[in-house]
Amino acid sequence: MNFFKKPLFYFFSLLVAVSLSLAFSSDDILKRSNLIFDYNVYALPIPENLNFSEEPLPLYLPDIRERMDRELLVNTYWQSNSLLLFKRAHKYFPIIEPILEQYGIPEDFKYLAVIESGLQNVTSPAGAKGFWQIMKSTGKEYGMEINSNVDERYHLKLSTHLACQYLLKAKEKLGSWTLAAASYNAGISGIASELNRQSVSDYYDLLLGEETGRYLFRIVALKEIMTHPKKYGFNFEDKDLYAYAPTYEVEVDTAVSDFVEFAKNFGLNYKQLKLHNPWLRDDFLNNKSKKKYLIELPKKDYYTLDKLD
């Protein structure tokens, strides 16, 4: 039997090599073949000075080390998902970071958006929406417009402003950025209640449910991995990452009867208009109150540049 199996192995190996040679340069082939035939999984050393917003993790505690180890392993070896996070972060962090800075919120909170939504406009089973996973009641409490025409939870800039306002309130009430971050998952009153019930003052001393108990460790793991990609085996170039389109804003203070026609007036199609304005939830806008909206549009010829080259 071995006599027949070996020729088959060599034959299929040859097919793989030929296929690779058609698609990639010789250097690419060498790199990728090494990945295919020499792939290993390693235990990860835990950095000794991990922190969230300059508040250190007590890694000298065995349970804290184990929980941190879990999140580093899960996020390092879920390679496809983590690589997509690098790509999206390059596109969206430049929008999120200045807003955090405007409110005096530590930059580490951008990783909270990463674990909440993967930097996508997703909807949770509980109905939270957008990059910052805002519930309808919370959005309305902070003055967001949420109806069948408009849902500002899907507006990246507006939702980031709301998240900052919430986090400042949480920090003031709970006393630390770590507890403020945990409250984004469990609520300010939920964290305050557990601190009181368990007679402790620190997140890492609390016994919490699975999701909230993992929450800070996931944030810190993504911060560590995304700050040091090569250390954790992620290899890419700037050209591999996503980029945010250059845009400008158009003010609208009337009803819009048809966004398909509206888009055409700016040299766009309906899909392209909605990609830049996911907060517009219908193909028309009632706007009976004559509210002023800023609609974001890509700069001229952005979607035709490839055709023109």
Q: What 3 state SS string does 136-173 have? A: HHHHHHCCCCECCCEEHHHCHHHHHHHHHHHHHHHHHH
Cα distances (Å, whole numbers) of residue 119 to 22, 30, 39, 113, 166: 34, 33, 29, 6, 19
Calpha distance 26→270 (Å, rounded): 42
Give 148-157 pLDDT, tens digit per residue. Answer: 999 999 999 9
Give 21-67 pLDDT, tens digit per residue. Answer: 555 555 665 565 555 555 788 899 999 999 999 999 999 999 999 99
The pLDDT value given to residue 102:
98
Average pLDDT over residues 227-243: 96
The pLDDT value given to residue 36:
53
The pLDDT value given to residue 300:
84
The pLDDT value given to residue 20:
47
Q: Which of 186, 138, 136, 135 is nearest to 165 (CA)?
A: 138
Task: Work out the angle at residue 78's Cα, subtended by the Cα atoms of residues 73 and 84, and round it to the nearest 5 degrees.
Answer: 130
Calpha distance 97→77 (Å, rounded): 27
Query: Who's near 165: CB < 8 A, 6+ residues apart?
Result: 103, 142
Q: How far is CA 298 from the centre of its chain?
A: 22
Q: Which of 24, 23, 128, 88 is nearest to 222 (CA)?
A: 88
Average pLDDT over residues 291-301: 94
Average pLDDT over residues 162-174: 98
Q: What is the CA radius of gyration of the chain?
A: 24
Percentage of the chain with pLDDT > 90?
Answer: 83
Q: Are strands 293-298 and 247-252 parallel, antiparallel or unpaired?
A: antiparallel
Average pLDDT over residues 278-295: 96
The pLDDT value given to residue 225:
98
Give 215-232 pLDDT, tens digit per residue. Answer: 999 999 999 999 999 999
Average per-residue pLDDT for the chain: 90
In the predicted structure, residue 204 carries a pLDDT above the cut 80: yes
